[in-house]
Structure 1
Amino acid sequence: MDHHSYTTEEVAKRLKVSKLTVYDLIKKGELPSYRVGRQMRVDASDLEQYITEMKTGKVQVVSSSMQVMNPLSKSDSCIISGQDLSLDMLTKHVESRLKASNMLRAYQGSLTSLIQMYQGKGDIVSLHLFDGDTGEYNIPYVKRILVGQPCIVMNLLSRTSGFYVQKGNPKQIKTWNDLCNPSIQFVNRERGSGIRVLVDEQLRINGISKTDICGYDWEESNHIGVASQVANGKADVGVGTEKVAQIVNVDFVPLIQERYDLVILKTEENMELIETVNSVLQSSEFQNELRAIGGYDISKTGQIIYETN
C-alpha cells in the first residue's frame, strides 16, 4: 500500500490549480485529508482516486442534504486567506476557541482572495487594497466586488509600506517618479496582491507609464522575495512592508500607512465565526502578541470598519 502523502501545495501543483481551490475541495469533502500538526495532508491514493474520478466524470460530491450546515463542524473547515504573520497568529487563537474547527491558511493576495470570496471560496479574507480615487483602503473594493453579499469588515492592524532599497540608498530613491530612471531596476509583486494594487494605483494617479519602469514585469510572490532581490543586488528597489525590511538586510523608505482589514460574509452559518474573530481581535492576549512582534499599529484592532445589513 502506498502511504505517501502530499501537502496542499503539492496537490495544487499536481492538479494545476491554486491552493485555495485545493482547500475548497477539502472543505466540500471532495478530497479526503488529515492533519499533521498544523499542516493538511492528502494521501497519494486519495489524490489518485480523485484524479481518476475527474477523468471518468464520477467525482462524488457530498450532497447538500448530508452536509453539516455549521461551517465550523468537524466535517468542515474555515479558510483564512492572506500572507501576513498576524494571520497565522489569528488562526491559532480562533482555532483554540472553536475546538471543532479545522483552520486552513491560504496565502493568496488581497484582490485575488476577495474575488475568490465572491465566488464562494474563503471564509476570512485579509485586505490591504489602496484606492487611488478616494485615498481609502479596502472599502471601495469590498463594495465593488462583493456585490449583493452582506459582509462585515473588521480592522486587524495598520502597517507602513514603502520602498525596499539597498543599504545607504545609493540611488536616492524617494518617490514614485524615481522609478522612471532607466538606471533603476525595479522588482514587482504578483498580480492580485495588495502591494501590486498599490503600485498600479500610484502609477496611475502620478501619470507614470509602466513601460517607463525597468522591471515592472518582474514578479515575486511575497514581501521577503522582493526584499531579498534588493538585498542581493539584483534589484535596486521594490515595494513592501516595513517589518520585512527589518528582517532582510535592506533600508526602507516609508511611503504610506496601510490599513489591513478582515472581511467575513454575514451569513447565518458565519455568526459564530464573526463573534469569535471579533473577540480574539479585541483580546489583550492577541494584541500583546502583536505588540511583541513590533511594527504594527493596533490602535484600531477589532474595530468594525464597515458592515452591510
Structure 2
Amino acid sequence: MVGPVPERDVYLHDVPLEEAHARFAALLERLGCTASLSGESVALREALDRVASAHVPARLSSPHYHACAMDGIAVLAARTAGASETSPARLCLGTEAIAVDTGDPLPAGCDAVVMAEVVERLPGGEAIALRTPVAPWEHVRPIGEDFVASELVVAAGDRLRPVDLAALAAAGVTRLAVVRRPRVAVITTGSELVAPETATPRPGEILDSNAVLLAAGIEAWGGIPVVTARVPDERAALAGALDATLAACDVVVMNAGSSAGREDFTARIIAERGEVVVHGVAIRPGHPLILGAARGKPVLGIPGYPVSAALCAELFLRPLVERLGGRAVSQGEHVEVRLARKLFSPLGEEEFVRAVAAPIDGVLTALPLKRGAAVITSLARANALLLSPRQSEGYLEGARAPALLLRSRERIARTLLAAGSHDVALEALGAVLRTHGFDLVSSNIGSIAGLVSLKRRACHLAGTHVLDPATGGYNDAAIARFCAGEHVVLIGFVDRIQGLIVAPGNPLHLACVADVARTRAHFVNRQRDSGTRILLDYLLAQASMEPTAVEGYERIEFTHTAVAALVASGAADCGLGILAAAQALRCGFVPLADERYELATTAARLEEEPFQALLDILRGPDLRRTVAALGGYRVERMGEIRTPGAI
C-alpha cells in the first residue's frame, strides 16, 4: 500500500496491470464493494434495463380465467362426438352453441371453441352444423396456461428487458425491487476547462469533453452520473469538491490532476482522507492512474487526456459500476488479428492501441489508428483494441496480434478499410455508406503506401492520385509499379483542383511554387510518397527549383485539412492542398493543377456486397451533389470502372 503522498510525488510506483487489478480488488473487498448495492422499489415502467434484486412471483395467473383462443362458437365437446360430413352435429345457437371472440371468458357449460371458419349456419339462423368433432379444451386457454399465481416470473439478478416487463404486467405486478443504481460523481479538474458550448475558446482553453465521456459511460454501464461543476487547479477547491460528493455518492471519479505536476493534487487529497493503493500503472495510455478510497468510498483518479480517461474508465470504472449495479461484468470478445502495418510498442508497458478491424480475403485484419492520448477521434473510429504485452516491442506487418473487439462481429464484417491519399470527399462517402449499414475507415498514409497496402492485402481499396511526370497521366504507372501481378481496377471518384492554401486575401501575393521560395514563406508539406508531395516535386522541377529552396519542405502533415488548419491558425503561411480543404477552414486558395483521384481495388472485390453498395452510391445523384457542393471537385467520372492503361 502506498502511504501518505508527499508534496511532490512522481508516480515511480508503476505496477503491472494485473497487479493494479489485484490491489484494487482487495481494496473493494475491504470496502464491501464487491457485491451489488441494496434494492429499491420502483414502478414497473421505471424498471427497464434495471436488475431485479429479488425473485418476483406472479400475483395473478395468466390467464386468470378460461379464455377463448379463437373467434367462433363455444360448445360442449361431447355434443359434437360422431360429427361427420354425412352426419353433422346440429346445435342450437344461444344455448348449445354460443358466439365468442378471442379473449372472451369461456361460457359456463362449454369446454371447447370451434373456429368461425368451420361453422356452418343452417337456414333460419337459429342453429349450426359441425361436420367434424371437437376435442375438449380445443382452442381454449385454461387458467394458468402461461403461469400460475405464485410461480416465478423474474429471478433475482435478471436484467429486465421489455418482454420481462410485459410478463410482469401480465402477472399483475406493478412494482418490484431492483438493485439501486450506483451514484458516481464526476469531478473534472483544470483551470483550462470550459464548457463544450463555448463558442470561441481562447488559446489554452480546452472544451470539457471528458465530463461528457465519463457521464455517458457511467449511464451506459447502469450508474447515475453526478457531474459536478468544473473545479480549478486549486487544492482547496478540489478537496471541497471531493468532500461534497463523498457524502452523496457511492463512487467518485476525479478526472485530471492525477500526474505529478505542480498543480496535480489528486493523490495527496485522496490519501489524506483514506488510502491510495495504486498511483501509476504500466499501461499506455493511462500511466498516472490513481486507485484508492476516501471515507469508505472508492475513488478513482483518472488521467485527463481523453484516450487515457476512456481506457482507464473501461478497465477499472466500468467493472465497478456494473458490479455495484448488479450487472454481469462485461468481458468483451478477444480475437486474433493480422496487422495491416507494423506496430512499435515500448518494452515494459502494456499498450492498448485503437484500431479498425475488418475481414480481408477471409482474414480479420486490423489497421492501427493514430496514437496519442489526446486523439479522441480514434476512440470514435475504432472497432477494436490491439493489445501489446509488456514483454513485447510490437509487431511486424502481417504478424498476428491479440485484440479486443469493441463492436459486434456482424458490424465489423461490414467495414471497408481504405488506405492511401486523404480527400475530404471520402468523409462524405463514408457518411452515406453508414446510412446503408457499412463503415468506411480511411488511413491517410499517402497514395503509394496505399497501393502497397492493397497489394499486401492490408486494405480493401486505396485512394490514389499519383502523377506520372513522364506522361502527365495519373495512377496507371504507379499501379504498374507497386501492384505488379495484381488484377487491379480503378473506380472513378473525383477530379479535383490542387493549389496553394494561403491565408485569407493571399497577403504574400503567392501565384506559384516559385513565389513560395522567393518570399521565404513558411510552407507545410505532405508526407513522402503522397500524391500531393509528388505533385509538389513535379512543380518544383518544372520551375527548376530544388526542394531545399522551400522553407518548411521537411515539415509534414498527413491530410489536406491539417495543412489548412495550420495556415488558418497562422502557424504556416501556405501549403499544397485541395480547394475543399481551403474552403472548409476559410483560407485563401491559388489553383495550380487539376488531377484525377481514383479508388484502386482488386477486380474480384467488385462482386462483394460492400462494393456493390459503394458503386450504387457513387453512381447515384445524392453523393455527387454533396461532393460538388464542397467546391473544387468534378464528379462526372464517379463510379466509372477502368483498367489501368485504358483511359
Deviations 1:73-110, CA, capped at 9 Å, x for gaps: 9658431234323223333444555x5x6643323322
User: In structure 1, what residue type is equivalent to 2:426?
Assistant: L
Contact 1:166 1:237 in 2 (8 A): yes
The Cα of 1:164 is off from its aligned counterpart by 1.4
Give the counterpart letter for 1:235 in structure 2: A
Aligned match for 1:151, one of 482, 488, 510: 488
- Residue aligning to 1:195: 532
CA-to-aligned-CA distance 1:106-160 (integer Å, 9 cap, x gap): 2332222112212221111111222221111222211211101101101111111
Matches within 5 A, 1:12-51: 15=345, 22-23=355-356, 28-29=363-364, 39-42=381-384, 47-48=386-387, 50-51=388-389
CA, structure 1 residues 130+80, in 2 after alignment: closer, same or farther (shift >3 Å)?
Answer: same
Give unpaired runs (5+ residues) of structure 1: 6-11, 63-71
Structure 1 residues 1-309: aligned runs within 5 Å? 4=314, 15=345, 22-23=355-356, 28-29=363-364, 39-42=381-384, 47-48=386-387, 50-51=388-389, 77-81=415-419, 82-94=421-433, 97=436, 103-181=440-518, 183-267=520-604, 270-272=606-608, 273-307=610-644
Larger Rg: 2
In structure 2, the partner of 1:67 is none
Check the 8 A contact 2:358/2:414 in 1, yes or no. Answer: no
CA distance 1:37–1:96, change in 2 (3 Å): farther
Deviation of 1:213 after TM superposition, in Å, equals 1.6
Contact 2:449 2:529 in 1 (8 A): yes
Say if 1:243 and 1:103 are closer, same or farther in 2 by CA, change over 3 A: closer
Higher helix proportion, which one?
1
d(CA) in 1 for partners of 2:439, 2:566: 35
TM-score (norm 2): 0.38
User: When the two structures are aligned, how many residues end up with a matched partner?
Assistant: 282
Maintained 8 Å contact 2:499/2:589: yes
Change (3 A) 1:152 1:94: farther
- In structure 1, the residue corresponding to 2:643 is in which secondary structure? strand
Which protein has the bigger strand share? 2
* 8 Å Cα contact 2:355-2:382 kept in structure 1: no
In structure 2, how many angstroms separate the alpha carbons of the residues matched to 1:235 and 1:92? 30
CA distance in 1, matches of 2:569, 2:365: 43
CA RMSD for the aligned pairs?
Answer: 3.9
Report the more deviating stretch, 125-134 or 227-236: 227-236
Structure 2, unpaired ranges of 5+: 1-20, 22-311, 316-341, 347-352, 369-377, 403-409
Contact 1:188 1:215 survives alignment (8 Å): yes
Separation in structure 2 between the aligned mates of residue 217 and residue 144 of structure 1, nearest angstrom: 26
Deviations 1:5-41 (A, max 9, x none): 7xxxxxx98748xxx995469864477x9xx996324
What is the SS of the residue equivalent to 2:495?
strand
Q: Deviations over 1:183-213 (max 9, x none)?
A: 3222211223221111122223332111222
Distance in 1, matches of 2:449 and 2:413, equals 26
Distance 2:393 2:561 in 1: 39
Higher alpha-carbon deviation: 85-94 or 243-252:
85-94
**Distance in 1 (alpha carbons) for counterparts of 2:534 and 2:513:** 14
Higher RCO (Cα < 8 Å, 6 or more apart): 1
Retained in 2: the 8 A contact 1:229–1:235? yes
Report the identity percentage: 23
Q: Is the 8 A contact 1:152 1:308 kept in 2?
A: no
**Distance between the aligned counterparts of 2:526 and 2:491, measured in 1?**
25
Counterpart of 1:79 in structure 2: which amino acid? L
Q: For 1:169 and 1:56, locate their aligned partners in 2 and report how far apart those are by CA, in whole Å.
A: 46
For 1:284 and 1:204, locate their aligned partners in 2 and report how far apart those are by CA, in whole Å.
40
